[in-house]
Amino acid sequence: MAKSSGYRAKTRSILKRKSRERGKSTLSRILRKYKVEDRVLIKIDPSIQKGMPHRRYHGKLGTITEKRGRAYVMDVMQGNAVKEIIVRPEHLEPY
């Protein structure tokens, strides 16, 4: 059988929550506001699929450049390149 190459492939350990963190996320994570030029940490919340960045950005640090709807556009370094990704606030933490 062919190997799966989906969006969440090989994420069993990356997108696993610890036993005390399971269940619904807190409202403060969703309602937190960020300003332009804020530095944030990308920490993917596996219970919310909407606005989830790719697994390669999990644990990376980025800078918010603009707000787009409910989500934020941010610049993240990947090697020598600067990538622009769109992430919802559920998957972000202040740095």
Instruction: Give all domains of the chain, ordered by start, each with its CATH number.
Output: 36-94 (2.30.30.70)
> What does the alpha-carbon distance between residue 15 and residue 47 come to, in Å, rounded to a whole number?
9
- pLDDT surpasses 90 at 25: no
Q: Following CA atoms 12, 30, 74, 38 in sequence, which dihedral angle do they give, to the nearest 10 degrees?
A: -120
Whether the CB-CB separation of 85 and 77 falls below 8 Å is answered with: no
pTM of this prediction? 0.88
Q: Report pLDDT for 39.
A: 97
Q: Given this model, what pLDDT does residue 14 score?
A: 87
List, for residues 12-23, the tens digit of each pLDDT value: 888 888 888 888
